[in-house]
Structure 1
Amino acid sequence: GAAVTSIKIDGVLHEFDTVPGVREDVMQIILNVKGLAVKSYVEDEKIIELDVQGPAEVTAGDILTDSDVEIVNSDHYLFTIAEGASFKASMTVATNRGYVAAEGNKKDDAPVGTLAVDSIYTPVKKVNYQVEPARVGSNDGFDKLTIEIMTNGTIIPEDALGLSARVLIEHLNLFTDLTEVAK
């Protein structure tokens, strides 16, 4: 999946700062940015921009992206800006798996004021499964597996299931390699 790894807000040096004319503090803005459902069509890091003037309720749809990055939840609320105020920020988007803490996203060569963000790359939000007895013809010795997958919209559930099966197979291949070594 893809996620924001860092944000640089003009005039902000640390996450405990505030932006004049913006209702939310920087910490709350970062929390809201973490809720973006981002889809990246390239493996490289990409920069997306946000440049708004007040008054406005700023949503993910206000973020400027190119053809390599798509914000799926464009109605996701980010912050409210007052009349006469302006807000400019750039965010780095990367692709990866799982979760990376902000500490893991810090870069030594990043410009002053660049704030690393916790990145949740997994597009899967929830998975449920249920096993029930099933009958095929007169034989009732079968089981039926029902899998329910909910995602953030950046991947369809069928693709998420296929990808997760492929990852599981890759991990289990380590055990088959051990069997070959034992022979």
Structure 2
Amino acid sequence: MRLLLHICCSPCLCIPVEELKKDGIEIEGFFYNPNIHPLLEFRRRLKSVKVYQESSPMRVHYCEDYGLNEFLNTIEHHDAPQRCGDCYHMRLVATARYARQNGFDAFSTALLFSARQRHELLKKTGEEVSRKEGLPFYYTDYRHLYAESRETARKKCLYLQSYCGCIFSESERYGPTNKYLYKGELNVSA
């Protein structure tokens, strides 16, 4: 089977690619993530996937456009889990369409390998997109390999992000704490 795998980030890619290959699946990647913000975060994740690809024989198709406007226009809800469903839908539709147009047998997403995603919502969204786009959604649950995949990414010096990527999740991640604030002193006497 020839599978187009949506790539969200390099840590969610390391071990899953090897597991899918063990199952005899021919994989190509698809980096499409208009949800990732701000711009520098988008560039970090894109670069990290490219660094991963340099040491992997997997072919990756890239959509390198910074999709702030597309993301904001697509997201109808600002609260999770509805917001997450909108985001999953946007990325899986793009993946399924690219897969269909380029002769793939099925599509899937590396998001399924993350222990931090809304797995059941992601699975349901993939199945809905599959019905509408007429291409099978390859579902597998490899969440038990999440820690191993992140450790492999760490050993390969790949970028390890600390939030899902959207501006709303960044706010949810860092908003409740002062831990990440700049600790410099303001010199008001100057």
Q: What's the TM-score once normalised by structure 1's chain length?
A: 0.25
Q: What's the TM-score once normalised by structure 2's chain length?
A: 0.24
Q: Which is higher, the Rg of structure 1 or of structure 2?
A: 1
Structure number having the greater helix percentage: 2
